[in-house]
Amino acid sequence: MEPGPPGSFGPAEPGPCLSGQRGADHAASASLQSAARTEPGGHSLAVAAVLPAGGCGERMGVPTPKQFCPILERPLISYTLQALERVYWIKDIVVAVTGENMEVMKSIIQKYQHKRISLVEAGVTRHRSIFSGLKALAEDQLNSKLSKPEVVIIHDAVRPFVEEDVLLKVVTAAKEHGAAGAIRPLVSTVISPSADGCLDHSLERARHRASEMPQAFLFDVIYEAYQQCTDYDLEFGTECLQLALKYCRTKAKLVEGSPDLWKVTYKRDLYAAESIIKEIISQEICVVMDSKEDNKHVGHLLEEVLKSELNHVKVTSEALCLAGRHLQQIILDQCYNFVCVNVMTSDFQETQKLLSMLEESSLSILYPVVVVS
C-alpha cells in the first residue's frame, strides 16, 4: 500500500461542487454530517471508502483505461477522488489499481496533491478488486495508517459527480440496516428475449430500479460476505448488495440517488462529463479592480452589466488592496473566472498581482482558470 502525500492543504480540497448545488440546504447538510460523524452515544463513526479502479475500459473503445482518460487535461479518477476527499468525515480512501498502472496512479496522487489515499493491487475482476480493498482495511499491517472502519463506502472510480448528501444518506442507512445503495428510476424498459431471439417477456418499469453507486455497508457485513462468496461470484458478479443479502442475510436499504450519479462508460460520456464540469466552473465571475471606492469606476459598471445579462452566473467584485485578503478568500471559495480592470494605472500591476496570487494558490492544477485583463 502506498499512502498519498501528506499535507495540511493542497488543491485537491478546494474546487467546485460538481453537482452544482454548492451552498444549497446548508443547514440540512450540517445536520446529516453530524449524524454521520457521531453515533447516538457521541462516539465518532469511522468511515472509509473503497474504489475499484482496475478495469481496462473495453466499452470505451480507447487504449487508455477510462479511469485515466483526461477530461480538461486531468484524469477522470482525479475528479472522483476530489469528490470523496471533500467529505471530511471519510477517513481513508483505498484505490485498487492494477500493477501495471500503479506508478500512473502514484503520479496522479502526487501531481494533484490528493490526500488520505492508499493504493492496493487490483484483482482481475471488479469483485476481486473490491475484496483487495476490504482486506487492506481489515488487516492490521505494520506501518499502515489504515484501520478497520465501522462503515465502508464502495464507489466507482468513474462516477465523478457523487454528492455529499447521497454519501451521507447511504452511510446513515447502512449504519441502521447493515447495507444501503443508491438507486435511480429505469430509463428504458427491460425485456427478456427467448432463445430464438424473440420477446419472451418484459418487466414493468415502474416496479424496478437501476442500482447505482455509491453503496455503503457495515464493514463486518460486507467483509464477511466477500470471505464466504464463491469463485463464481468473484469472477462474474457485479452487485455488492446481493452478496450482503446472499451470504449475510442483510437486506439493503435503497436510497434515491441524484441524476448526477451516472457512470462514464462510453467515449461520448467523456464529452458529457467535460461539458458538465465546464458549466459548473463557469457559474461564478469575480471582477477585480484597482479601486472600489469610486462608484463610477468602470469595474462597477461592468459588474452591473454582467449581473443583468448573466442571470445564472454569480458575479462578485473585489479590489486588490489590503494584500488581497478578501480576494484570497474568493479564490478559496472556488472561483475560476476573473476580469481584472485597471484604470488608475496603465502598467497592469494589478493584473500581475492577481496572477501571482493564482499561481501561489495552485488553483489551476485542478481546473482551468480564466483571467481577462
The per-residue pLDDT for 232 is: 95
Name the grid cell of 52: 475499484
- Does the domain at 282-372 match CATH 3.40.50.2300? Answer given as yes
Residue 22: the pLDDT is 44
Give the per-residue pLDDT at 21.
Answer: 47
Global confidence as pTM: 0.84
For the domain made up of 2-276, the CATH class stated in words is alpha beta
The angle that helices 267-281 and 76-85 make with each other, rounded to 10 degrees, is 50
Q: pLDDT value at position 24? A: 42
HEC per residue, 94-137: EEEECHHHHHHHHHHHHHCCCCCEEEEECCCCHHHHHHHHHHHH
Q: Which residues pair with 2 in a beta bridge?
A: 119
Cell numbers standing for residue 135 = 482486506
Digit-coded pLDDT (tens) for 252-270: 999 999 888 889 989 899 9
Q: Which amino acid is at 181?
A: G
Task: Annotate 168-180 with DSSP letters as a single string.
Answer: HHHHHHHHHHSEE
Burial-class residue 271 by CB neighbours within 10 Å (0-12, 13-18, 19+): exposed
Given this model, what pLDDT does residue 10 score?
Answer: 43
> Which of 187, 65, 32, 53 lies closest to 119, judged by CA?
53
The predicted pLDDT at position 321 comes to 66
pLDDT at 357: 85
CA angle 65, 71, 75 (to 5 degrees): 50
Below-50 pLDDT ranges, the chain = 2-11, 20-28, 40-42, 322-323
pLDDT in the model for residue 356: 87
* 26 φ, ψ (degrees, to nearest 5): -65, -40
- Per-domain residue ranges for the chain? 2-276, 282-372
β pairing state of 74-75 and 70-71: antiparallel
Terminal CA-CA length for the chain: 46
Helix (H) or strand (E) holding 247: helix 240-248
Model pLDDT, residue 17: 59
According to the model, what pLDDT value does residue 337 have?
Answer: 94
- Cβ burial, residue 33 (10 Å; 0-12/13-18/19+): middle
pLDDT in tens, 106-120: 999 999 999 999 999
pLDDT of residue 5: 40
